[in-house]
Amino acid sequence: MRTKVFDCVKMKRRGAEIVRKQLEGKSLKQQLEYWKQGTDELKELQRKSRKRNKKRL
């Protein structure tokens, strides 16, 4: 019998709980700003990653 090393459902639920706590009590405007900031950070990481990958080629 194999033991489970990684449980992605558990990880997903833990992440959702963290986000729920961070957004708890915030207005709609504040929630939208939270998601916009996260999106902007992700886009910047993607931009840097593409730039690094181009240098490798």
Q: Digits of tens for pLDDT over the chain (57 positions)? A: 778 788 999 999 999 999 999 999 999 999 999 999 999 999 999 999 999 988 877
Cα gap 41→48, rounded to integer Å: 11
What is the predicted pLDDT for the residue at 29?
Answer: 98
Does the predicted model carry a pTM greater than 0.85?
Answer: no
